[in-house]
Amino acid sequence: MSLYGMPVLILKEGAQRTTGREALRANIMAAQALAEVLRTSLGPRGLDKMLVDSFGDITVTNDGATIVKEMEVQHPAAKLLVEVAKAQDAEVGDGTTTAVVFAGALLGKALELLDQNIHPTLVIEGYIKAMKEALKIIDELAIKVNPKDRATLRKIVDTAVSSKYIGKGSIEEKLANMAIDAALTVAEEQPDGTLKFRIDDVKIEKKKGGSILDSKLIYGIVLDKEVVHPGMPKRVENAKIALLDAPLEVEKPEITAKINITSPELIKAFLDEEAKMLKDMVEKIASTGANVVICQKGIDEVAQHFLAKKGILAVRRVKRSDMEKLERATGGRIVSSVRDLTPEDLGEAELVEERRVGNDKMVFIEGCKNPKAVTILIRGANDMILDEVERSLKDALNVLRNVMREPKILPGGGAVEVELALKLRDFAAKIGGKEQLAIEAFAAALEEIPMILAETAGLDPLEALMKLRQLHSEGKVYAGIDVINGRIVEDITQINVVEPSIVKKNVIKSATEAATTILKIDDIIAASPLKKEEKEKGKGGAGKFSFK
């Protein structure tokens, strides 16, 4: 910018500024590029991505949330889509790939409208109206289900994990059943008939070795710890468990103190007093009837000796999150002082046992009467398989939580998207004006999802879409793509392809919000990258010395 021939600089030297349609186009292109990466990993026949980080660690997955987290995305507009995927994952734990692909499709259709000189504000308003109408239509399409019905839950889990590496045959069946059993065990019924299921109450523990079929559900908690003293029992039946948030050690005073010892007898008296204090602690624990001690802090060697003499099994330095799960599983209460421990605070379990799993020892606390926290122990040949199984299990648990939170399901296989597109085109005709074009673009973007599913199933995408449109216009609202068998079916629910309605609603909301956020940007001001010398200066000039 210049004033009376004088240049006026408001930005730092080296800063770059892109404005208007050029900025918008650059942002849309970047977001579309990210969506294009995820596009091929959508659906049961989706392909995997191999991600290698800067340390050389390899991740192989087709889980959208994992892919965007592991990719080191630089472009700010693409980062917005990464945030969408993360938010989708945090909120409902599923549908991340769909959300990013749909946001990319919305931006692609918006670019076509911008090229026709339609203002971004009109596109945004049209998209928001289309989103609100789509959410209403979803509520009308949703089928109410019983959140305690195992058969329904099994259908939903099968759809969620069918796109994963392990989503086939006996392995998928075992993991699905474990996830359903875990969810139904820890879920709590609410006054309105829904179930409250917290995923944190299902602990997933991974141990290398064996096969995935060796994985099992433990109605209690598994600790990746071992018994602290060799003299302690390694197996305790009918366990009474003390949960301590206090160290079984002689605590140091908070103020600095000195002890003057003038004779060897005083050293012995001092050590004897320490041992007496620790013995009194153990006596107090034993007097409550406890035969197992789980301690969040440390256990002194002398205290270990006294516990072993009393035949008490002890585990130390257990994580706070595991202590809270033990509280919910055993019915005990975490006590922060040994003096306050009473028999009522003790948890119960049929068996506490140290077992060797692979090369490590683990402590199993199982057979809890009414556990509100359980553990799934995953076995597998290598870390890559263990991580992928864990992701699949988390997806299964998330969809179970979603359907328990809002017990409504929708047909999968692209059926919802085609029906929404059909209804939105009718809605667009009523709105009229330039916003009509934006609503029609929204409908066209929705149809990208069934087209990708058709493509991965080996069908001709356009032919499949035309067939689906025809079936839906005839009133067959559940017509969708059977991706596994590469065909179009008139009622996708008959082959158990269903998903929770809350996931679909969240996909539409988060993708629309991301697309409208990007469409609002018409100016990009990027600061110049730091020079090498400035970076070193910022680090305090480490490694630079001068001598005079």
Sign of CA dihedral 106, 112, 118, 119: positive
Report the phi/psi class of residue 356: left, alpha or beta, with left for phi > 0 and alpha for psi in -120 to 50. beta
Max Cα distance, the chain (Å): 101
- Taking each continuous run of H as one helix and of E as one strand, the counts in the chain are 17, 23
d(CA 417, CA 196): 29
375 catalytically annotated: no
Alpha helices by DSSP H, 212-345: 264-287, 301-309, 320-330
Tell me which DSSP letter residue 317 carries.
S
96 catalytically annotated: yes
d(CA 18, CA 305): 72
Answer whether 349's CB lies under 8 Å from 239's CB.
yes
H or E element at residue 218:
strand 216-218
Secondary structure of residue 294 in the 3-state scheme: strand
Question: How many C-alpha atoms does 356 have within 13 Å on its Cβ side?
Answer: 2
Answer whether 362's CB lies under 8 Å from 223's CB.
yes
Rg (CA), the chain: 30
Task: Out of 40, 61, 66, 96, pick the active-site residue.
Answer: 96
Task: Out of 40, 59, 61, 63, pick the active-site residue.
Answer: 63
Burial class (CB in 10 A: 0-12, 13-18, 19+), 293: buried
Task: Out of 94, 158, 387, 395, pick the active-site residue.
Answer: 395
Which is nearest to 446 in space by CA: 423, 479, 463?
A: 423
What tokens appear for 224 in the block? 């990746």
Tell me which DSSP letter residue 10 carries.
-
What tokens appear for 16 in the block? 């770059």
48 catalytically annotated: no
Answer whether 547's CB lies under 8 Å from 36's CB.
no
Main-chain dihedrals φ then ψ at residue 482, nearest 5 degrees = -85, 90
152 catalytically annotated: no
d(CA 506, CA 102): 12
Task: Out of 40, 59, 66, 97, pick the active-site residue.
Answer: 97
Beta strand 360-366 pairing with 49-52: unpaired
Which is nearest to 97 in space by CA: 503, 432, 548?
A: 503
Answer whether 173's CB lies under 8 Å from 150's CB.
no
Tell me which DSSP letter residue 338 carries.
G
Query: Among all residues, which ones are annotated catalytic?
Result: 63, 96-97, 395
